[in-house]
Amino acid sequence: MKKFVNKPDRFVDEMLEGVLAAYPEQLASCSGNMRNIVREKKGDKVALVSGGGSGHLPLFMGYVGEGLLDGCAVGGVFQSPSADQIYEITKHVDSGKGVIYLYGNYSGDIMNFEMSSEMAEMDNIKTAHVVGNDDVASAPKGEEHKRRGVAGIFYIYKTAGAAAEEGADFDEVLRIAEKAKASVHTMGVALSPCIIPEVGVATFSIGENEMELGMGIHGEPGVSRTTLKSADAVTDTMMEAILADAPLSPGDEVSVLINGLGATPKEELYIIYRRVAQTLASKSVKVFHAYVGEFATSMEMTGFSISLCRLDAELKRLLAKSARSPFFEQAQL
Amino acid sequence: MKKFVNKPDRFVDEMLEGVLAAYPEQLASCSGNMRNIVREKKGDKVALVSGGGSGHLPLFMGYVGEGLLDGCAVGGVFQSPSADQIYEITKHVDSGKGVIYLYGNYSGDIMNFEMSSEMAEMDNIKTAHVVGNDDVASAPKGEEHKRRGVAGIFYIYKTAGAAAEEGADFDEVLRIAEKAKASVHTMGVALSPCIIPEVGVATFSIGENEMELGMGIHGEPGVSRTTLKSADAVTDTMMEAILADAPLSPGDEVSVLINGLGATPKEELYIIYRRVAQTLASKSVKVFHAYVGEFATSMEMTGFSISLCRLDAELKRLLAKSARSPFFEQAQL
């Protein structure tokens, strides 16, 4: 196992010790549990809370910050955080204006966030759920409720986070989050697996000259395994799948997210972005802003995902607003 | 070769097409050469120019932006840019206040930046050179002029860039750059190589259970190859080497940069930062600001480096200033 670790069962907690040591002015933990990450300064606003398994940095806790999330429940590697964690964070971040949960479509997460909602209700804390399901490869059109949430959740955080930060009320922030969720579609590809420290072996095996299209961020099977194609050919296949699912018309405006899964060099992500930009230009679709880098990883997995988020004037304005966490900074666009 | 590429000989140019397509409001190229990257808006200030081989994103061009560099000459993968490129950029960015070159200690780069200086002199453009040499593993104390420049150049860019942006004159910006250069010390470790697209094979070979301490960012040999140790043991060895070279006293203040070389997950970088923070705290050394992430990579190499930059009030103030490039954003600290 070619990893820098100490005791594998301490992987998540030592990582959190590092994060909390690095950003004492921005992040804190609450209720005596280091895995319950919150902003250092509590806001008087609708609160946004996420959570999920570790191993995806900057997902999920990397988006706790100004103009983004208020809290995040951190699970073990690829494991859901507990309902108690989510509930404790909910109590900490609520200012009386309610708490909206934004998380990915995984059964463990859904169960625990729902359980937390029930506990919060007894404390008269209003909650709502927006479950990211942007991965078009994980279930066919018409069965969107079965799709996994992957990197596209970034757009939900960013736009709902901006709305909450500027004082929008509960229903309004929820409406924005739902709109962003409906506007983003993603597809991924992987060339190599990652290693869960406590397991110590690769999450899947794949040939030296193979790629898996549509693979999930935990190594869930994709839609096809083929020989590795050129960057342009891979990108074209993925764009065709996304655009077949969520067609764009001339004059439409989008934001593009090219997300590295861990080991893929930034240089290659820009080669891919180049091809995406060419394809969108050929369809007279305008790119408002491009994000290229690591936004949702699978530790040292090689691969990337493409997300397209269709923008109207409202989402565009919110996406453009400044945001600041230790893992993601954006000046006003 | 598990990479997303088209024709390997188009790797750098296609990457640049992607970068220029992604950030039209921030970056441009000059003199008809896509490899000559400059800020979209020219500043009326002392200009800072860097350059070096490709394969290290965000180095070098990723630091062209507000409060950072004005231009960057992009070479082939692990190859120096040409003197002509540097000279064309120099003419483009000079506002009459002179141009300071900030680059790493590699013979090809030195030769070409010096040749560009000679050409610029004939145009009455004043230039100066600050050559980063922060890698303590690459030559012993007393032979600092033989040391390679690695991730620590970030601190030179950041502090000299802030000084230039606020209007400091040529000699003042040069003084700051020299001070930052003298204040930063780095050591790296690698677990796996990278692949140069045009070559198609790994830059070096290393056993499944081995690590190479002190390895350079192009795979240059390090100081020792041993079996892979725990994260804490590796970190302690590196910190001992850095602190033996550049001792710190109780009450000193530093900034820490934990730099991933490409494939190492952010989770592991925080486990490492945790140990660095513990060590510094035990010596009563204060950390002003921690940077953790990818600042100078070697494509898909697995490994990391630790840089410590000793701060006085002046460097601290400049480090804290806001900066913005497509690859690096920092709000005022």
Domain limits, chain A: 8-183, 184-312
pLDDT in tens, B49-60: 999 999 999 999
Q: What is the pLDDT of residue A319?
A: 98
Q: What is the mean pLDDT of residues B144-161?
A: 97
| Helical spans, DSSP H, in chain A | 11-22, 83-93, 107-122, 153-165, 170-183, 231-245, 266-282, 313-320
> Which residue of B4, B231, B271 is in closest CB contact with A231?
B4
Strands A71-77 and A47-54: parallel
Shortest Cα distance from B327 to chain A (angstroms)? 9
- Cβ-based neighbour number of residue B2 at 10 Å: 18
pLDDT in tens, B193-204: 999 999 998 989
User: Which A residues, 273 through 312, put their C-beta within 8 Å of a C-beta on chain B?
Assistant: 273-274, 277, 290, 292-294, 297, 299-300, 302, 304
User: Which A residues, 83 through 102, put their C-beta within 8 Å of a C-beta on chain B?
Assistant: none
Catalytic, A129? Answer: no
B1 pLDDT more than 80: no
Shortest Cα distance from B191 to chain A (angstroms)? 7
Residue A330: its chain B contacts at CB < 8 A?
329
Q: For residue B189, what is the nearest residue in chain A, using CA coordinates?
A: A4
Residue B21: its chain A contacts at CB < 8 A?
273-274, 277, 290
Q: What is the pLDDT of residue A128?
A: 98
pLDDT in tens, B76-116: 999 999 999 999 999 999 999 999 999 999 999 999 999 99
> Which residue of B6, B228, B273 is in closest CB contact with A2?
B228
Q: What is the mean pLDDT of residues B149-160?
A: 98
Q: What is the pLDDT of residue A1?
A: 77
Q: What is the pLDDT of residue B219?
A: 87
Token output for B242 = 């850095």
Chain A with chain B: Cβ pairs closer than 8 A: 171
Cβ pair A113, A50 in contact under 8 A: no
| B34 close to A (CB below 8 A) | no
pLDDT in tens, B266-284: 999 999 999 999 999 999 9
Question: Which pLDDT band, with edges at 50, 70 and 90, does B124 fall under?
Answer: very high
Q: What is the pLDDT of residue A188?
A: 97
Architecture (CATH level 2) of domain B8-182: 3-Layer(aba) Sandwich (3.40)
Q: What is the pLDDT of residue B154?
A: 98
Catalytic, B218? Answer: yes
User: Which B residues, 310 through 329, put their C-beta within 8 Å of a C-beta on chain A?
Assistant: 322, 324, 327, 329
> Which residue of A4, A274, A329 is in closest CB contact with B17?
A274
Kindly state the helix (H) or strand (E) to which residue A184 belongs, with its residue range: strand A184-192
> Which residue of A6, A11, A22 is in closest CB contact with B232?
A6
CATH superfamily of A184-312: Dihydroxyacetone kinase; domain 2 (3.30.1180.20)
Token output for A136 = 């078009």
Q: What is the mean pLDDT of residues B140-167?
A: 97
Torsion angle, CA of B147/B153/B157/B160, rounded to 10 degrees? -50
> pLDDT of chain A along its 333 residues, tens only?
789 999 999 999 999 999 999 999 999 999 999 999 999 999 999 999 999 999 999 999 999 999 999 999 999 999 999 999 999 999 999 999 999 999 999 999 999 999 999 999 999 999 999 999 999 999 999 999 999 999 999 999 999 999 999 999 999 999 999 999 999 999 999 999 999 999 998 989 999 899 999 999 998 988 999 999 999 999 999 999 999 999 999 999 999 999 999 999 999 999 999 999 999 999 999 999 999 999 999 999 999 999 999 999 999 999 999 999 999 999 999
3-state secondary structure of A301: strand
Q: What is the pLDDT of residue B21?
A: 98
3-state secondary structure chain B: CCCCCCCHHHHHHHHHHHHHHHCCCCEEEECCEEEEEEECCCCCCCEEEEEEEECCCCCCHHHECECCECEEEEEEECCCCCHHHHHHHHHHHCCCCCEEEEEECCHHHHHHHHHHHHHHHHCCCCEEEEEECCEHHHCCCCCHHHCCCCCCHHHHHHHHHHHHHCCCCHHHHHHHHHHHHHHEEEEEEEEECCECCCCCCECCCCCCCEEEECCCCCCCCCCEEEECCCHHHHHHHHHHHHHHHCCCCCCCEEEEEEEECECCCHHHHHHHHHHHHHHHHHCCCEEEEEEEECCCCCCCEEEEEEEEEECCHHHHHHHHCCEECCCCEECCC
Would you identify the CATH topology of the domain A8-183? Answer: Rossmann fold (3.40.50)
Pick the CATH number of B184-330 from 3.30.70.100, 3.90.1170.50, 3.30.1180.20, 3.30.465.10: 3.30.1180.20
Q: What is the pLDDT of residue B10?
A: 98
| B182 close to A (CB below 8 A) | no
Shortest Cα distance from B294 to chain A (angstroms)? 10
Residue A285: its chain B contacts at CB < 8 A?
none
